[in-house]
Amino acid sequence: MEDNKQTRCFLCECYGEISDVVDLESIRKGLEHHPRIVSCEKVKSLCLEENIDELAKRIPLSPESRVLLGACSFLARGDAIITGLQKRGIDPKHIELVDLREGCAWIHRDDPASATKKAGDLINMGIAALVQRNYSEDLTIEPKQEVLVIGAGPAGISAAASLVKLGITVHLLDRAKTPGGLLNLIKKIAPETDGTPQHVEAFLYTVGNSPLVRYYPGSRISAVRGSAGDFTVEFTSGSDVKSINVGAVIIATGARVNLPGSLYRYKELKGVITGIELERSFKGPGMKVTSAVFIQCVGVRDADRPYCSAICCPVSLKQAIQLLEENPDAEVTILHRDIMCPGSVLEDYYRKAMEAGVRFVRYDQDTPPGILGAEQVEEIRVYDVITGRERRIDAELVVLSSPLIPHDDAARVAELFDLNRDIHGFYEVRSLMHPLETTKDGVLVCGSARWPVLARTAILQGEAAAMKAFALLNTDQLTATQISQFKERKFSLALVDRQACTGCGNCVAICPYDACSLEADQGAYKSTVSQMRCTGCGSCVSVCPNGSIQLPEQNALLIGEMLKAAFS
Amino acid sequence: MTQEILLSDHAESTRHNAAPKVVVFACKWCALIGADAAGKNKVQLPVNFRVIPVECASRVEADAVIRAFSSGIDGVAVMGCHLGGCRYNNANHRAAKRLELLRPLLDTVGIDSRRLFTSFGTAHEHHQFADVIGEFYRRLQDLPPVQAWSRSNMNDYRRGDT
């Protein structure tokens, strides 16, 4: 294979850190006659600014020019060297960094002869990589400076309010006629004992009085097209059909309360109600009872729904305290499997409930409490795990603490936006470092749509999602590299050889980001890769039966040549 | 991968059993950081391994592993993030499954599948990387030399299968 690539090699001595172990002079001599290498020289230290200056002068700015640096690792000073050269006009794609310090000299100080051989091999691998490397093209778009927020609950409203402050136009959609979401149904917010839903009004005021907010109550999304930076969303608002163009989407659709069905004789006996019904009476005339029993974990933490909804314990504590406030002589008991109140605020709240006189009885999943009574609740029988005895508790009111579950149309929204959902039906987010990003770039999820949370956390997540959306859009030019969260110099996008592709669809099945798809091309199916979605992981490469899909920066030929050079 | 390549190159590699040649495909989010940290901490490691950085362990296809063995390498290690901690939406989980599927194939062609080492999330720290490399080295040193592929291997495999 003939090409006119000119590789210049620079070996860093690192003031002896490398050259004391690795015999750089013999490597340099060996490379002088290498057919690929134009020049090779040793430098005392590559990473000093003046040396980078000197280095940049010796590298011609031609597209054929390649640079091989034998220095420390990318994570040590290598990154700084490449960035320095990039500032001086040298394309970082044409630089190959060979790690001779962390990867060789420092770990093989006992055996200089072998370390020198290894360094030679590593440099040969670097040359092979430079020769075989191809480059992905990057796609550039102009992001729309508008954001769609779906859901006007605490998460959605706080996201909208934060974006408005940053000067971003927000389209706020809600399925209901009034904003507020689940907050409309409750009197006080747990665990803020003095907090009321009116606290959200500060946000509502910002949202309601800003010219940058377009609020569409009673709407339903019908179609979504496009990708991060440029989504087109069609929806119906009332009887109107509208279409908007946004750069990012924040999903804050929340969750709904699961009704207990026929569990614990709900709907059959008078006095058996759910927590949300109790809230309704708190908002209305109030609720004055002499004895009440809360049952936790109704229809949750079992085989069908094996998660903890996380909000029901604080909510029941709040309601129990409230019942005691209305009638201090009332007997209030919480039957629980475990009280889930982590953190200092919630733990304080639990202690406050105990001090207020709420009694706690622990029951077992296998022996759920029984409800006695003919028409009205009279008594609860429960096997107390701690004492090992059955207890009888008089009760006028039984409150079933039900979990939050995904909304019924969560599946529809997931399908419209192409999102993954977890086994419980909540939207799946990316790993540890990307806690609000869904599996589609440019679509963020916050609040209870992501996972059941208390209002305080929902507001926090809404603000975080707003910042993430702002960070994505706050630019005139958006490249595919910026959109995916991996802003890396060596970023690559999978590339399909359409002549060789047989259209088997393996890549479509394996792609973790749904970037691959099949499209009809002259009577056959051919794979195609969405540049906006591809993150360059290379999953498709390893399942392609004939190697027709490749990462240009790390193609099969390159790996093969590197392997050959590894022990040359 | 053709039979000829496997036959010709392995004869040579079997002689250096005391210092087996190892190629490490290191995920740049995990094992590469571990390898780098090992360097920073100046942990002394056996010399005969070469690290090839990859975006994700899922980039390492069966072909690359077989190609490595056929170019005379005694052991191939694939190191990625811990399962569930992949940067690429659990791509490493699928890679782990794929590499397990490769093992019987390697055994069939006469390459002990223990020569393929996989580590997911166990090489992120410098001492972990050193431990993992050391473990793989000891394993390779104990293994009998690579047998060139032959028809009889294939027959053994078939008999064992039925």
Q: Under CATH, which number does the domain B20-159 receive?
A: 3.40.50
| A538 with B55: Cβ contact below 8 A | yes
pLDDT score recorded for residue B14: 46
| pLDDT tens-digit readout, A357-406 | 999 999 999 999 999 999 999 999 999 999 999 999 999 999 999 999 99
In Å, what is the CA distance from A430 to each residue of A11, A151, A510, B91? 40, 21, 17, 12
pLDDT at residue B12 greater than cutoff 90: no
Encoded tokens for A420: 């993954």
CATH architecture of the domain with residue range A263-402 = 3-Layer(bba) Sandwich (3.50)
**Domain A495-550, what fold?**
Alpha-Beta Plaits (3.30.70)
Q: Which residues of B touch chain A, with CB atoms under 8 Å apart?
A: 21, 23, 33, 35-36, 38-40, 42-45, 47-48, 50-52, 54-56, 58-64, 67-68, 71-73, 85-91, 94-95, 98
pLDDT at A192 over 80: no
Q: Apex CA A206: angle with CA A201 and CA A208, to 5°?
A: 85
Radius of gyration of chain B (CA): 16
Cα separation, B123 vs B132, in Å, equals 7
The domain segmentation of chain A, as residue ranges, is: 6-136, 146-256+405-478, 263-402, 495-550
What mean pLDDT is predicted for residues A461-477?
92
Give ipTM to 2 decimals.
0.84
Q: Where are the beta strands (DSSP E) in A20-88?
A: 37-43, 65-71
pTM of the model: 0.68
Both tokens of residue B12?
Answer: 């040579």
Digit-coded pLDDT (tens) for A89-137: 888 888 999 999 999 999 999 999 999 999 999 999 999 999 998 888 7
Q: How many CA atoms are closer than 13 Å to the CA of A83, on its beta-carbon side? A: 11
The mean pLDDT value of chain B amounts to: 83
E strands, A140-263, in order: 140-141, 146-150, 169-173, 213-216, 219-227, 230-237, 240-246, 248-251, 255-257
Q: Which residue has the higher pLDDT, A254 or A440?
A: A254
Tell me: pLDDT of A197 over 90.
Answer: no
Contact between B68 and A111 using a beta-carbon 8 Å cutoff: no
Nearest residue of chain B to residue A109 (CA atoms): B44
d(CA A29, CA B134) in angstroms, rounded, equals 33
The C-alpha atoms of residue B99 and residue B104 are separated, in whole angstroms, by 10
Compute the distance between CA of residue B120 and CA of residue B80 in angstroms, rounded to an integer. Answer: 5
Position A1 scores a pLDDT of: 45
Q: Give pLDDT, residue B41.
A: 93
Q: A263-402: same fold as A146-256+405-478?
A: yes
For A268-315, the pLDDT digits (tens) are 999 999 999 999 898 888 888 999 999 999 999 999 899 999 999 999
Fold topology of A6-136 = Rossmann fold (3.40.50)
Dist. CA A510–CA B87, nearest whole Å: 15
User: What's A438's DSSP letter?
Assistant: B
Write b or e for each residue in A127-146: b if 16 or more Cβ atoms lie within 10 A of its Cβ, otherwise e: bbbbbbbeebeebebebbbb
Residue B7 confidence class, pLDDT cut points 50, 70, 90: very low
Of B36, B50, B59, the CB nearest to A102: B36
* pLDDT of B156 above 50: yes
**Chains A & B: contacts with CB separation below 8 Å:** 134
Give B4-12's long-range contacts (Cβ < 8 A, gap of 24+): B5/B70, B6/B69, B6/B70, B6/B109, B6/B110, B6/B148, B6/B149, B7/B148, B7/B149, B9/B70, B9/B71, B9/B72, B10/B69, B10/B70, B10/B72, B10/B146, B10/B147, B10/B148, B10/B149, B11/B148, B12/B72
Residues 407-436 of A with CB under 8 A from B: 430-433
- Bridge partners for A334 per DSSP: A294, A360
CATH match for A146-256+405-478 among 3.100.10.20, 3.50.50.60, 3.40.50.2000, 3.30.420.40: 3.50.50.60
With CA atoms as reference, the chain A residue closest to B45 would be A107
Give bridge partners of residue B118 from the DSSP assignment: B78
The 10s digit of each residue's pLDDT in B83-115 is 888 888 789 999 999 999 999 999 888 889 999
Residue ranges per structural domain of chain B: 20-159
